[in-house]
Amino acid sequence: MPIALTDEYYMAKAIELAKKGWYSTQPNPRVGCILVRDDHIIAQGWHQYAGQGHAEVNALAQLAHNSSNIQGIAKGATAYVTLEPCSHFGKTPPCSEALITAGVQRVVVAMADPNPLVAGRGLKRLEEQGIAIRCGVLENESRALNLGFIQRMLIQRPNIRCKMAMSLDGRTAMANGESQWITGADAREDVQRLRAESSAILTGIGTVLADNPAMNVRSQNYDTMGRQPDRVILDSHLQIANEAKMFALSGKTIVLTHEQTSPQEKITALSNQGVVVDFLPLSGASLSLVALMPWLAKQQYNDVLLEAGATLTGAMLQAGLVDELIIYMAPQLMGSDARGLFNLSGLESMQDNIHLSIKDIRAVGKDYRIIAKPLAA
């Protein structure tokens, strides 16, 4: 079998391994590693949880049966890794050095690491030690594992997905605000999956005041290893109630507000409950969405799920800050008096419209899920 086909076969295996950490590796990327010698897989590993062993180290540990002596245990082997081995000391030692010590003779990598702390240094270190390198095998498939991580490293903002539920006539709530439940149990379970995949859930104070939501992962079907996404609330005048439901739940709640519009006694009361209060500048009467992006990146959020009302979601869309729309459409009509999906002002002609690329439409129970990407103007 040609070498290229062999490399693609083993890299596909490594990509499947990386998916085992789909819900638990945040803020780290999802990575898989296969060790092959004489056309046989001799060990495999994947990154499971931030602060624990990386994929390469876990594969080597399996090969060594957890022995502390890994000198030469992979001599002559080829390592297939979905992301360039790291070259720096973080919470764990460099994976490139572990592969060198183990005696690997060849490393096949799906893609270079966009992290400035790595960015080619891992591959260079391996080459300096005489290890043969091939990079770019199934790169697109590997990139799909870590879209948010890559985006955060390259443009300093996470991948933002906006989740909405609507009726067939594009309504999200009755005129009095009643909205539970537009969609069925299967769609709501799918939202649990979206939350489990996310670093954080972002919403506005209007949604919190109206619904007092939990905004956490409650389903047992997704192995997050106990991790809950952070809950981030945009609240320019610190209106959130001291007894909000989410404060009593596991996971971190962060309220973003404006320093000059927030009473110190309210900040103290929230902090005493374990709520983190931080500050953003204003843009008009609202918190600056432009300033929000680097703040989210600074928290090391790779994937953010926007679950909010029509005002915030519309503002995020018009600011070009939504990477993907996930809309659940229920087979019902709610009428012209019901509330619309997005507040989008200033669209006065067809050329002003926000155009979308539909990526997927499928049934989820009795509802339909539409995945679309906004197109650049």
Contacts of 318 (CB under 8 A, 6+ apart): 344, 345, 346, 354
Q: Going edge to edge, which strands form the sheet with 200-204?
A: 276-279, 253-257, 230-234, 200-204, 303-306, 159-167, 324-330, 367-374, 356-364
Dig out the tokens for 375 from the structure.
């197109």
What b-and-e string marks burial along 154-165, b requiring 16 or more CB atoms within 10 Å of the CB? eeebbbbbbbbb
The residue annotated as part of the active site, out of 56, 84, 97, 307, is 56
How far is 332 from 44, CA to CA, in rounded Å? 48
Q: Nearest CA to 319 among 339, 298, 291, 340?
A: 291
Q: Are strands 132-135 and 32-37 parallel, antiparallel or unpaired?
A: unpaired
Residue 304 near residue 296 (C-beta atoms within 8 A): yes
- Amino acid identity for residue 299 in this structure: Q
Residue 10 near residue 27 (C-beta atoms within 8 A): no
Residue located via tokens 């994947």: 46
Residue located via tokens 């809309």: 327
Annotated catalytic residue 56: yes
Active-site positions read 56
